[in-house]
Amino acid sequence: MVKNIAVIEGDGIGIEIIAEGVRVLKKIEEKFGHTFNLNYVEMGGCAIDKYGVALPDETLAACKAADAVLLGAVGGPKWDDPTAKVRPEQGLLGLRAGLECFANIRPAKVYKALAAASPLKDSIISDGFDIVVVRELTGGIYFGERGRDGDSAYDTEKYSVYEIERIARVAFNLAMGRKKIVHSVDKANVLESSRLWRETVAKVAKEYPEVELVNMLVDNAAMQLVRNPAQFDVMLTSNMFGDILSDEASQITGSIGMLASASTGAGTRGLYEPIHGSAPDIAGQNKANPIATILSVAMMLDISFGLKEEAATIDNAVNSVLEDNYRTIDIASEGSVVLGTQEMGKLIAERI
């Protein structure tokens, strides 16, 4: 298989973690006989410094021409002025919009070797959990009409049937390859937009008779995530609810440095990135955890390229390293062997 990948290192630790993601990708290329053509382009703070914009036209064009995009992280104190007309985050929003990515897919998984790092009690996570949050990314209250009226302000939650149908199908298709259960999260007891959400998801569910649909109010979902996370498999949410619940799900795993994400659209092309930031305080010190980026590579192989065996090989390599008690400093515990960014990347690649 030959695939073209646009690679965006970004800012801060982005350069370091992308290097290890690419190291693992090259190992997969070698082991399975694929060809991955990498095109490095710029976005974020580094692009602002060089071009005056967070997302140069050339970068967006290269990403649109690629089969997938691999991103490190953007931003940092240098560009952290909320009044600035140009900010690194604009690059990410522009890229998602330009690629027409309407679905954000965020796994939250507890590796057995890291269960002690979770803030939840052992009795709650003894059986582990493996959740995927599917968040609608381009609609809802973040994109509705907003404004000020005297001493009042307003933001409008609005969804169309089309927007709900397409994100629901992403969730149900994912569920078909997993445990075949979807928890659809809404606030249908109060919000009209949620009532449309629930009605539309129910119609889409009829296309997937093998998948069980469970409707859950968002406040209950937030509670159930910390009470019994193992009950969830695929969680389907609107933009705002997903923003909140995916962060909650990431925290109960115990380490943000372990979590990957994907943003996808109607086709197979997707944007893959770790959920953590650019961590400028440790940039260039060989301390960053590259595992979230490496697992983002695995998601890319699975979702965009359909290479499920290759993706599972990466996941197994990560699990093997963790089981042998190797850690980066952010997930280190008493008795573990602490490795730097490069050493962790090399070890995972060797296990492949």
Summarize pLDDT for 262-299 with one digit per residue, the tens.
999 988 899 999 988 899 999 999 999 999 999 999 99
pLDDT at 121 (0 to 100)? 87
The yes-or-no verdict on residue 255 having pLDDT over 90 is no
Summarize pLDDT for 156-204 with one digit per residue, the tens.
999 999 999 999 999 999 999 899 999 999 999 999 999 999 999 999 9
Other CB atoms within 10 A of residue 249 CB: 26
**Annotated catalytic residue 219:** yes
Distance of CA 179 to the CA centre of its chain: 20
Distance, CA of 54 to CA of 93 (rounded, Å) = 10
The pTM (predicted TM-score) of the whole model is 0.90
**Annotated catalytic residue 50:** no
CA distances from 205 to 130, 170, 230 (A): 22, 11, 22
The yes-or-no verdict on residue 143 having pLDDT over 90 is no
pLDDT at 154 (0 to 100)? 95
Gyration radius of the chain's alpha carbons: 20
Using DSSP, state whether 37 is helix, strand or coil: strand
pLDDT at 331 (0 to 100)? 87
Summarize pLDDT for 195-247 with one digit per residue, the tens.
999 999 999 999 999 999 999 999 999 999 999 999 999 999 999 999 999 98
Distance of CA 12 to the CA centre of its chain: 19
pLDDT at 115 (0 to 100)? 81
Distance, CA of 272 to CA of 190 (rounded, Å) = 35
**Residue 56, phi then psi, degrees to nearest 5:** -60, 150
pLDDT at 250 (0 to 100)? 86
DSSP bridge partners of 184: 215, 236
Length of the chain: 352
**Annotated catalytic residue 243:** yes
Summarize pLDDT for 104-134 with one digit per residue, the tens.
999 998 888 888 788 888 888 877 889 999 9
Of the candidates 187, 208, 233, 330, the residue annotated as catalytic is 187
Of the candidates 64, 247, 287, 315, the residue annotated as catalytic is 247
Of the candidates 51, 78, 180, 243, the residue annotated as catalytic is 243
Summarize pLDDT for 6-50 with one digit per residue, the tens.
999 999 999 999 999 999 999 999 999 999 999 999 999 999 999
> Domains (ranges, CATH) in the chain?
1-101+259-352 (3.40.718.10), 119-252 (3.40.718.10)
The yes-or-no verdict on residue 322 having pLDDT over 90 is yes
pLDDT at 112 (0 to 100)? 81
Of the candidates 142, 158, 180, 346, the residue annotated as catalytic is 142
Of the candidates 49, 155, 219, 324, the residue annotated as catalytic is 219
Looking at this protein, which amino acid is placed at residue 116?
Answer: A
Which of 29, 10, 99, 90 shows the shortest CA–CA distance to 60? 99
Q: Is the alpha carbon torsion for 140, 107, 174, 105 positive or negative?
A: positive
- Please provide the DSSP assignment of 313-351 as one string: HHHHHHHHHHHTTEE-GGG--TT-EE--HHHHHHHHHHH
Distance, CA of 312 to CA of 298 (rounded, Å) = 7
Is the distance from CB of 21 to CB of 8 less than 8 angstroms?
A: no
Highest mean predicted confidence (pLDDT) among 125-129, 150-154, 327-331: 150-154
Nearby residues of 274 by Cβ (< 8 Å), 6 or more positions away: 17, 72, 73, 257, 259, 260, 261, 292, 293, 295, 296
Distance, CA of 275 to CA of 262 (rounded, Å) = 9
pLDDT at 222 (0 to 100)? 97
pLDDT at 126 (0 to 100)? 76
